[in-house]
Amino acid sequence: MPKSATTTPPQQKNTAKAPAPAPSGSEGSLEVKDSRTSKGYSIPIADNAIRATELKKVKSSDPEDLGLVSYDPAFLNTASCRSAITYIDGDKGILRYRGYPIEQLAESASFLEVAWLLRHGELPNQKEYDQFVHDITFHTYVHENMRKFLEGFRYDAHPMAMLNSSIAALASFYPSARNIFDETERNISIIRLLAKTPTIAAFSYRHVKGLPFVYPDNRLSYVENFLSMIARMTESKYEANPIFTRALEILFILHADHEQNCSTNAVRAVGSSHVDPFSAVSAGVAALFGPLHGGANEQVLRMIKEIGTVKNVPGFIENVKSGEGGKLMGFGHRVYKSYDPRAKIVKKLADEVFDVVGVDKDLETALELERIALSDEYFISRKLYPNVDFYTGLIYRSMAFPTDFFTVLFAIGRMPGWLAQWEEMLLDKEQKIARPRQIYTGLGERPYKSRLKNPRPD
Ligand code: CMC
């Protein structure tokens, strides 16, 4: 293994024959007429998109009119960036990282190979990979003050709250990370985040369990080291169950990126203020915590527990349909409208893990839930299929991870994607501070007249 300190990797040259670009719409223009003024406008179309700023030219006869804005709450049909990292075709259930199908990466790649790929656009050669693994391995330790910081949390703190604030706190340990346009600084921050996130995650786990922290073991692989920090007790070298190691490696790869999802959008938006990467990524962890996003894996298990037994499933589904029972967690996706390709892989993986640990009543309930939902008109007509979070929780639980911890595992997997997207955003000359417009719905001007007795006491 190379011994040199962290180096900035050289820009890669792609010597292979260029693969076909992802499909994009043809160029042209959108010819529109404003019925208020009868004026016509020609709005250029490129990459199947129009620029929202073109709409500013469309003005009413009011001289103070600033022009049209596009109104798109929750970004249902707005592209916020150009990105070369991840391609999704939601109708066909396709997911590719830098052109490579997720199925092939999950089958054969390592998580750190995928992490490199996401950032650099090409798979690493042996030398680059060895150096990268070396760099990650030797940055897994956290400052002892971080340990004290973690010890300050209550025994029942949610591990996502601990992860979120600890990643933000890393900014205080590495102030030079604020030099985000220095390539060397960016590189070491990215290495640190990839290396230290599993350590912080494992320390949070041990804190909640009341167990002593286990320090990183540099002899182990990324995933084995994580499992060692989670589960090692008195043994001198922890040997993880190889089925669990492989399962976790695959799950991390499946979660590594997913284009402009809620947490990645948060990282990009916060990062667009040019704050340091630790602060930007902590925003991603916060977004992932939510039950509609990464927090869904935790909620799936809670929902299955609440249902109790297979015989209660039909009643539960009826409650979901009537709107009384909330949503069917682990179902539905903003982009996938046929199936989530990650869910397909996870389901197969779950079968392999359950062969080792056995099937229990919660799994039976989950399978019955899936069977009924997939044949029910409500879910079929709305194109609601199991997403990645439906099965991952069941695998994590069979590996004895506590329910609270599931989303932390998702966050470890998503880290390379957040970082690749953060850097792509920073280096994109078209990007500026993210600052959406609004449609003001409040009152017009009115004079201040306080309703307090003494609004400004001396
Ligand atoms: N259970 C029941 N009904 C649902 C569900 C669900 N899980 N998801 C959507 N619907 C209904 C929704 O009520 C709406 O019905 P109607 O047309 O009658 O009003 C219709 O389907 C369209 O849903 P939507 O809310 O417009 O869809 P969205 O794209 O805004 O939301 C979602 C996507 C993932 C937030 C949503 O499907 C959901 O809340 N699912 C459950 C939470 C979940 O599993 N999240 C994990 C997502 S995948 C991994 C990740 O991103 O972390």
How does pLDDT run across 244-262, given as a tens digit for each residue?
999 999 999 999 999 999 9
Spacing, Cα 382 to ligand 1 middle (Å):
9
Amino acid at 78: T
Atom from ligand 1 closest to the CA of residue 382: 21
| Per-chain mean pLDDT for the chain | 93
Query: Residue 129 pLDDT more than 50?
Result: yes
Q: In this model, does residue 325 exceed pLDDT 90? A: no
Query: Residues 6 or more apart from 118 whose CB is under 8 A from it?
Result: 85, 86, 97, 98, 256, 257, 416, 417, 419, 420
Which residue among 333, 378, 414 is best mutated to probe the pocket of ligand 1, counting the most ligand atoms within 8 A of its Cβ? 333
Q: How far apart are CA 50 and CA 31, in angstroms?
A: 11
Is the per-residue pLDDT at 320 higher than 90? yes
pTM over 0.75: yes
Q: Which atom of ligand 1 is nearest to the CA of 295?
A: 52
pLDDT digits (tens, 9 = 90+) for 136-173: 999 999 999 999 999 999 999 999 999 999 999 999 99
- On the question of pLDDT at 268 being above 80, the answer is yes
What pLDDT score was predicted for residue 13?
Answer: 43
The arithmetic mean of pLDDT across residues 428-449, rounded, is: 97
Report the nearest-CA residue for atom 37 of ligand 1: 332
Q: What is the pLDDT of residues 119-128, one digit of tens each?
A: 999 999 999 9
Q: Which residues are catalytic?
A: 293, 333, 389
DSSP designation for 309: S
At residue 14 the predicted structure's pLDDT band, cuts being 50, 70 and 90, is: very low
Given this model, what pLDDT does residue 19 score?
A: 65
Quick check: 21 pLDDT over 90? Answer: no
17 pLDDT more than 60: no
Q: Residue 6 — pLDDT band, cuts 50, 70, 90?
A: very low
Task: Give residue 278's pLDDT.
Answer: 98
Spatial CB neighbours of 2, under 8 Å, sequence gap ≥ 6? 130, 131, 134
pLDDT at 30 over 60: yes
User: Which amino acid does the sequence have at 93?
Assistant: G
Question: For residue 337, which of 383, 293, 376 has the smallest C-alpha distance?
Answer: 383
Residue 2 has pLDDT above 70, yes or no: no
CB burial of 274-285 (b: ≥16 within 10 Å; e: otherwise) equals ebbbbbbbbbbb
Please say if the pLDDT value at position 324 is more than 80: yes
Ligand 1: which of 382, 390, 394 to mutate, most ligand atoms within 8 Å of CB?
A: 382
Of the two residues 326 and 441, the one the predictor is more confident about is 441
- As a whole number, mean pLDDT of residues 89-117 equals 97
pLDDT value at position 458?
A: 79
pLDDT band at 16 (very low <50, low <70, confident <90, very high): very low
Pocket of ligand 1 (CB under 6 A): 261, 292-294, 296, 320, 327-334, 382, 384, 387-389
Determine contact, residues 206/405, Cβ cutoff 8 Å.
Answer: no
Share of the chain above pLDDT 90, in %: 86
Nearest protein Cα to ligand 1, atom 51 = 293
Q: What was the pLDDT predicted at 23?
A: 57
pLDDT at 25 over 80: no
The protein residue whose alpha carbon is closest to atom 39 in ligand 1 is: 292
Q: Is the distance from CB of 107 to CB of 246 less than 8 angstroms? A: no
Percentage of residues of the chain with pLDDT beyond 70: 94
Predicted pLDDT of residue 237: 86
pLDDT at 20 over 90: no
Closest residue to atom 31 of ligand 1, CA basis: 334
Give the per-residue pLDDT at 100: 98
Residue 379 CA, ligand 1 centroid: distance in Å? 10
pLDDT at 27: 82
Return all residues near 420 (Cβ < 8 A) that are at least 6 apart. 85, 118, 119, 257
Distance 236 CA to ligand 1 centre (A): 47
